[in-house]
Structure formats: C-alpha cells, structure tokens
C-alpha cells in the first residue's frame, strides 16, 4: 500500500485534522466520532505524511490531556459508581468498579471522570465522552477503539476537547500504551519511552494515530511479529525523522510509498527508494522526500540504500516519486 496521497478526500481530512488541534470551546454538545477513512474493497487509500507526532506542542510539551498516568487513579462513572485505575487491553480503556471488582470498558465508561495526572505531576481531570470500536481492517481478531475525551481546564474549570474539534465535531483518539519524547534535535527525541503505566491518546491526523490506521497496531502481531517496533518505525518514517532525534524533515502533503515485508502494507508503487527504517530512525538514505533533496546535516553519515532491502533489521521502507 502506498502512503502517498492520491485522494483529495484524504488530503482534505488530513488538513482538517491538523486544524482541529486547536482547543475547542467550553462544554459543547457531545457528538459522535469525526468522519473516519474507510477503505472499500478494491480501493487503494493513499495518504499524506506530516511532521507532527501527536499535535502541536504547548511550551515544548504535549497538549493537555493527551498523556495521563493510569495506575491507581480514582474516578466515578456516569451513574456515580467509584472506579479505580485506567488500564489498556489493546486499545480498549478499562477500569475496575470498586464495589464489586468488575472490570468496566466500552460504553460502561462513557461519562466517567477520572482524577489523574499529567507528566510532571500536575493533576488533571479526564472525561470519556464517546467510544466506538471496530474490527481491524488488517488483523483478524484485533479491534481498534476510538474515543472522544475532554479535560477540565484548571483556570476556568471548563471542559475542553483533548484533541480539539473539526467543524464542531470532536477529534477522536486511539489510546496507546506508554509515552513518547517530543524533543527535537536531541538524543532520544521522538522515542517511545518505557513507561507502561502511562497512556498516550493519539489524536487523529497525526503520526501516532496515522500509523495505527495504516495497520501497525502496537498491541497485535502480523506474521508472528509484534508490531510495536513497526509502529514506531512508521512514526519515524511518516515524519522523515531520519536521524532518530525527533526532528521532522518533511511537510504535510509530501508523497511517500510506505511498505513492509509482513503483508500489512504491500509495495504498490515503482518509485525511487528513500529510506529503510527501524524504531530508531533511518538505516540508510538514498533521496530525501522533500523537493530539492537536501540531506539534513545529521543524516550525512547514513549510507545510501542498496537495491536489496535488508529485511529483518529493516521494519518499513519508504519511497518517493
């Protein structure tokens, strides 16, 4: 499958999702999930790349509500039942009802409010507004859960959409285990952190979310291989983070063909090799995707890619037209 953009509908959706990262107003009416991209049988989706991991940063940190600590937090459901903790089963949020130990998930948690914390320890109230789940388009037996969430703003006390809105519709999230470094141009920038008790809410239209939509669901496997590292390699590739330091070297709308050897995304184009990728960045670089083909200084030491792909160490490959 090509991760290049051929469909105007998809290009317009990516633009709208980016615009939707501005916080919404106070307490709007609850609506359903935003329009999602659906691939009918025989239709090839072509999507754009972009530079953002998970939406624009606020003072160098992730936007409010997109990262929360789930272990041991307390909350209450819409009917007033006390619940304890937020955990993930795949992409499904779960919590334990204190009164009887029942594990709640899905619609049982709609309206629940949790008193959790953001990185750095700041308290943050998080509310689950809607949830929908659908079978994976790529993996039998896997499902993808999508939520709309709100957080309570500390100063005004108003509820704000975690990922903003597009044309009045809340932007959906896919919950992912752990956190990511949002540093750019620094060691460890863009890396997935080993913090399993944290949950990142991946906003639609950005790299973390997009790579799940492309089939790299980090909680499942393909051809016997766990897809966590493939998801991270996709995030690096999507952003053209050649050096693995968190710095993107692309702009939204650049055409790329992204594929793997597991059958998740087949190679559908005869384009020129750009890079081979693993979870740490590019393993080689033949031609940068941006017009002009200027190699970033940090990538000058990368070897030119061979005509034979080094599958095994290489997890995904990108080509440019």
Could you read off the pLDDT of 14-47 as tens digits, one per residue? 323 333 333 333 333 333 333 222 222 222 334 4
1 band by pLDDT with thresholds 50, 70 and 90: low
Give the H/E segment covering residue 9. helix 8-19
φ, ψ of residue 233 to 5 degrees: the values are -65, -40
pLDDT (mean) for 164-175: 94
Q: Reply yes or no on whether the pLDDT at 120 is more than 80.
A: yes
User: What per-residue confidence (pLDDT) applies to 19?
Assistant: 32
129 band by pLDDT with thresholds 50, 70 and 90: very high
> For the segment 230-270, what is each residue's pLDDT rounded down to a tens digit?
999 999 999 999 999 999 998 888 889 999 999 999 999 99
- Of residues 123 and 63, more confidence is placed in 123
Cα-Cα end-to-end distance for the chain: 14
Q: Reply yes or no on whether the pLDDT at 201 is more than 80.
A: yes
**pLDDT over 90 percentage in the chain:** 66
pLDDT (mean) for 280-297: 86
309 band by pLDDT with thresholds 50, 70 and 90: very high
7 band by pLDDT with thresholds 50, 70 and 90: very low
pLDDT (mean) for 291-310: 85
Taking alpha carbons only, the member of 165, 152, 77, 164 closest to residue 122 is 152
> For the segment 45-74, what is each residue's pLDDT rounded down to a tens digit?
344 567 788 876 555 567 778 999 999 899
Number of Cβ atoms within 10 Å of the Cβ of 256: 26
- In angstroms, the CA 189 to CA 194 distance is 14
- In angstroms, the CA 250 to CA 4 distance is 13
pLDDT (mean) for 304-317: 93
**pLDDT over 70 percentage in the chain:** 82
- In angstroms, the CA 73 to CA 124 distance is 11
> Buried b / exposed e across 79-105, counting CB within 10 Å, b at 16+?
eebebebbbbebbbbbbbeeeeeeebb
Write out the E strands in 28-155.
Answer: 67-69, 74-76, 82-89, 92-97, 103-105, 113-117, 123-135, 143-152
User: What per-residue confidence (pLDDT) applies to 121?
Assistant: 85
- In angstroms, the CA 251 to CA 50 distance is 6
Q: Using an 8 Å Cβ cutoff, are 244 and 190 in contact?
A: yes
Q: Reply yes or no on whether the pLDDT at 9 is more than 90.
A: no
- 3-class DSSP state of 130: strand
Q: Reply yes or no on whether the pLDDT at 161 is more than 70.
A: yes
Q: Reply yes or no on whether the pLDDT at 116 is more than 70.
A: yes
């Amino acid at each position: 499958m090509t991760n290049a953009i051929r469909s105007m509908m998809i290009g317009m959706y990516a633009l709208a999702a980016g615009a939707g990262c501005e916080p919404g107003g106070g307490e709007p009416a609850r609506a359903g999930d935003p329009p999602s991209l659906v691939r009918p049988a025989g239709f090839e989706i072509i999507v754009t790349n972009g530079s953002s991991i998970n939406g624009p940063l606020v003072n160098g940190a992730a936007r409010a509500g997109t990262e929360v600590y789930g272990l041991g937090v307390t909350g209450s459901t819409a009917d007033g039942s006390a619940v304890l903790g937020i955990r993930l089963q795949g992409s499904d949020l779960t919590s334990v009802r204190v009164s009887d130990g029942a594990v709640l998930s899905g619609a049982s948690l709609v309206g629940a409010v949790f008193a959790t914390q953001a990185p750095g320890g700041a308290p943050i109230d998080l509310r689950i507004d809607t949830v929908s789940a659908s079978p994976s388009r790529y993996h039998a037996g896997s499902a993808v859960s999508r939520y709309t969430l709100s957080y309570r703003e500390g100063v005004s006390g108003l509820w704000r959409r975690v990922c903003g809105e597009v044309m009045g519709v809340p932007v959906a999230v896919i919950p992912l285990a752990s956190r990511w470094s949002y540093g750019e141009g620094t060691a460890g920038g863009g890396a997935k952190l080993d913090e399993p008790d944290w949950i990142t809410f991946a906003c639609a239209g950005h790299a973390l979310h997009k790579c799940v939509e492309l089939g790299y669901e980090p909680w499942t496997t393909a051809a016997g291989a766990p897809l966590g590292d493939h998801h991270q390699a996709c995030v690096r590739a999507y952003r053209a983070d050649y050096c693995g330091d968190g710095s993107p070297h692309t702009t939204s709308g650049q055409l790329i063909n992204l594929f793997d050897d597991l059958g998740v995304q087949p190679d559908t184009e005869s384009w020129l090799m750009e890079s081979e990728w693993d979870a740490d960045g590019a393993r080689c670089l033949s031609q940068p995707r941006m017009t002009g083909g200027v190699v970033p200084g940090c990538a000058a030491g990368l070897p030119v890619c061979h005509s034979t792909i080094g599958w095994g160490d290489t997890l995904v490959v990108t080509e440019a037209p």
